Structure 1
Amino acid sequence: MINQLKALDTNLFLYLNGKHHALLDPIMFYASDKLFWVPFYLVLIFIIIRVFKKRSVFVLLAIGLLILVTDQIASHLLKNTIQRLRPSHELALTDLIYLNNGGPGGQYGFVSSHAANAFALATFLALLLPTHFKFLKYILFFWAILVAYSRIYNGVHYPGDVLVAAVLGGVLGGLMNKGILLLFQKNYTNTIVGN
C-alpha cells in the first residue's frame, strides 16, 4: 500500500513538475521566496492593526507563535523523523525532473514547511478576520496554494509533501484561532468584571 502511494505521488509529481514554462519560472521562483512576500506581510500587519487595534499585539504574537510551532514541526520534527528524500535528491529522478533556479533544497522534504506555514497563516487569519474581509480570505488561500504549488513546480517537493503540509498548517491555524478567541473572551470578561 505504501509503495503504491509513493509510486502515485512520484508519478503525479513528474506530471505536475513537467508542466513548466519559461514565463512561469520567475513567478514560481519568487512564490517560494519568503523575502519576496515581505510587502504582503506588511499589508497584513497593517490590516490586523486597523481591525484589532489594542488586541492586535495578541494577534501578532499568536501569528509569531503559530509560525514558530508550525515550522518546527514541519522542518525539524517530521523531516528528521520520516527522512523522505526530496525528489531533487532522488538519483533515479535526476534526469526526469525540472529544477527551477532555487536549487535542490535540503535533503529531506516531508513535509513542506513553506506549504505548512502558508496554510497555517491563511487558515488562522481567514477564521479570525470579520466576514466583510471575504475577498482577503480568498487572497490568503490563493497565496497559500500558489506557495505550495511552487514547491512542486520548482522540483523540491512531492505533491504528498505539500498536501500533508496543507492539512497540518490548516489544523494548527484552526487551533491557534480557537486559542486567540479564548484569550479575547477572557480579556473581555476580565474587563467587564473589573468595571
Structure 2
Amino acid sequence: MIESIQQFDVELFLKIHRGLSNSFFDWLMPLMRNRFFWSPLYLFIIVFCIKQYKKQGYYIIGMVLFTFAMGDLIASRVVKPWVSRVRPCNDMSLANDIIHRVPCGSGLSFPSAHATNHFAIAVFLICVFYSRWKPILPIGLFWAFIISFAQVYVGVHYPVDVTTGALLGITIGIICSRIFKKLQPDF
C-alpha cells in the first residue's frame, strides 16, 4: 500500500515538475514560494488589522503569528524528523529527472512547511473574517494553493507533502481561529 502511494506520488510529481514545464511557470513559481515576494501582503494584513480593528487588530496579528508558529513547529520540528523523507530534488533516483529551478536545500520533505504555514494562516484569516468579507475564502485558499503548488513545480516537495501540509495547516488554522474566538467573543 505505502509503495503504491509513493509510486503514485513520484509519477504525479514528475507530471507537475516536468510535464507542466514552461518558461512562464519557470519565472512565476519561484516567486510564488519566495517569502519576500509576499512581504507587501503580510505588511498590508498587519496595517489593515491594526488600523481597522485597533486593539483587536493586535490580537488578530498575535494569533496569526501563533498560528504560523504552531504550523512551523508541528511540521518542521515534529513530523519532518519523525518521517525523514528526502526532498525530490535530493532523491538520487530522480537525479536525471529534476529541473533545478531553485536551490534544493538540505531539509526534509514531509510535510511541506510552506503548505502547512500558508494554509494555517489562510484558514485562520478566513475563519476570522469570512462573516465580514466573503471574498476572503477563494482568495485565501488560492493564495495558499499557489504557494503549495509552486513547491512541487520547483522540485522541492512531492504532491503528498503539500497535500498533507495543507490538511495539517487547515486543522491548525481552524483550531487557532476557535481559540481566537474564545478569547475575543465580541469579534
Q: Mark yes or no: TM-score above 0.5.
A: yes
- Of the two, which has the highest radius of gyration? 1
Structure 1: runs of 5 or more not aligned: 189-195
- Structure 1-normalised TM-score? 0.90
How many residue pairs get aligned? The number is 185
Letter in 2 for 1:71: D
Deviations 1:93-120 (A, max 9, x none): 01112221x2112241001111111100
The answer to whether structure 1 residue 156 and structure 2 residue 156 are counterparts is: yes
TM-score by length of 2: 0.94
Do the aligned partners of residues 130 and 156 (structure 1) sit closer, same or farther apart at CA in structure 2, a change above 3 Å counting? closer
Where does the alignment leave 5 or more consecutive residues of structure 2 unmatched?
A: none
Q: CA deviation at 1:138?
A: 1.9
Cα distance in 1 for partners of 2:53, 2:8 equals 45
Q: What is the alpha-carbon distance in structure 2 between the residues aligned to residue 80 and residue 33 of structure 1? A: 23
Identity, in percent, stands at: 30
**Which residue of the partner structure matches residue 141 of structure 2?**
141
**Structure 2 equivalent of residue 58 of structure 1:** 59
Structure 2 residue 96 is matched with structure 1 residue 98:
no
SS state at 2:36 partner: helix
Q: Which residue of 2 aligns with 1:191?
A: none
CA distance in 1, matches of 2:132, 2:78: 37
What is the identity, as a one-letter code, of the residue corresponding to 2:94? L
Q: CA deviation at 1:132?
A: 4.0
Question: Of Structure 1 and Structure 2, which has the larger fraction of its residues in helix?
Answer: 1
Runs of 4+ in 1 over 4 A off after TM superposition: none
- The answer on 1:40 being equivalent to 2:38 is no
Map residues 106-125 of structure 1 onto 2, 5 A cutoff: 106-125=106-125
Matched, 1:67 2:68: yes
Q: Is the 8 A contact 1:89 1:107 kept in 2?
A: no
Mapping for residues 12-31 of structure 1, pairs under 5 Å:
12-18=12-18, 19-31=20-32
Which stretch of the first structure deviates more once superposed, 29-38 or 105-114?
105-114
3-state SS, counterpart of residue 66 of structure 1: helix
1:153 deviates by: 0.3
Task: Return 45-54 or 74-83, whichever deviates more.
Answer: 45-54
Distance in 1 separating the partners of 2:39 and 2:132: 24
Cα distance in 2 between the residues matched to 1:47 and 1:108: 35
State the superposition RMSD in angstroms. 1.3
